[in-house]
Amino acid sequence: MANTLAEKYAERIQHHLSKYPDKRSAVMPLLYIAQEEYGWLSPQGIEEVAELCDMDPTQVKSIAGFYTMYREQPKGKFWLHVCTDLPCALKGAETFYADLLAHLGIEDGGTTEDGTFTVEHVMCLAACDRAPMLQCNFHFHEHLDMDKMRELLDQWRKEAEAYANKDV
């Protein structure tokens, strides 16, 4: 079986493998690369990472399942992690989160029908002084309110459309 990751991301993979005396240590950075390629950790992605790190696919799968930032199922293009932990909650994050879910018409952990957004609540993201806040894919957005949120959602919808059109 061809290893798509090995071919497409050779340089980055080599960089990570070279950082550690043991290939197995590269499993986390390589899982991020697989997720980037496939959008989630598909069986194919898990197999390829396992081969690159000299590991058993079931071991790789259990690593992926241990952490919250790996996607074990396909999710929305934009993955929103809203912090509702204690300090943020004291600054209105729970209300903000409820408003956001109502606005998108989904439940906690749900994905919008068009597949653009998946929204989850998470624990402290080390930005408690800038609540309410969220992480979208890999970036933080802070000092939020619903006005700012609507603007961001519009912007992300446009990005998702542009991306979809490019694909065709």
Partner 1 sequence: MNIIFREKDIPNIREFDVYVKHDGYKAFEKALRMKPIDVINEVKASNLRGRGGAGFPTGVKWSFIPQSEPIKYVVVNADESETGTFKDRQIMENNPHQLIEGALIAAWAIQATAVYIYLRGEFWDIAHALDKHIEDARQAGYVGENIKGSGWSCEVYTHLGAGAYICGEESALLNSLEGKLGQPRVRPPFPAQKGGGLYSEPTVVNNVETLANVPFIIMNGADEYKKIGTEQSTGTKIFCVSGHVNNPGNFEFPMGEITFRQLIFDHAGGIPDGKQIKAILPSGGSGPIVPATDEILDTPLTYEDLQKHGTILGSASIIILDETVDITWAASKMTKFFKHESCGKCTPCREGTYWLDKVLDRILRGEGKPSDVDLINNIAANMQGVTLCALGDFAANPILATIKHFPNDFMAHVGGELKAAGD
Q: How far is the CB of 102 from partner 1 (least distance, A)?
A: 22
Say whether residue 138 binds partner 1 (CB under 8 A). yes
Q: Do residues 64 and 53 make contact, with C-beta atoms less than 8 angstroms apart?
A: no
Kindly give, in sequence order, each residue whose CB lies less than 8 Å from that of residue 47, ignoring residues fewer than 6 positions away.
Answer: 1, 57
Say whether residue 93 binds partner 1 (CB under 8 A). no
Say whether residue 164 binds partner 1 (CB under 8 A). no
Binds 160, which of ligand FES, partner 1, none (CB < 5 to 8 A, cut-off by type)?
Answer: none
Say whether residue 53 binds partner 1 (CB under 8 A). yes
Q: How far apart are CA 64 and CA 104, in angstroms?
A: 28
Nearest of 20, 139, 37, 31 to residue 79 by alpha carbon: 139
Binds 68, which of partner 1, ligand FES, none (CB < 5 to 8 A, cut-off by type)?
Answer: partner 1
Say whether residue 91 binds partner 1 (CB under 8 A). yes
Angle at 80 between CA 78 and CA 82, to 5 degrees: 170
Q: Is 121 helix (H, G, I), strand (E, B) or coil?
A: strand
Positions that interact with partner 1 (CB under 8 A): 19, 21-22, 24-29, 31-32, 53, 55, 62-63, 66-70, 81, 85-87, 89-91, 122-129, 131, 135, 138-140
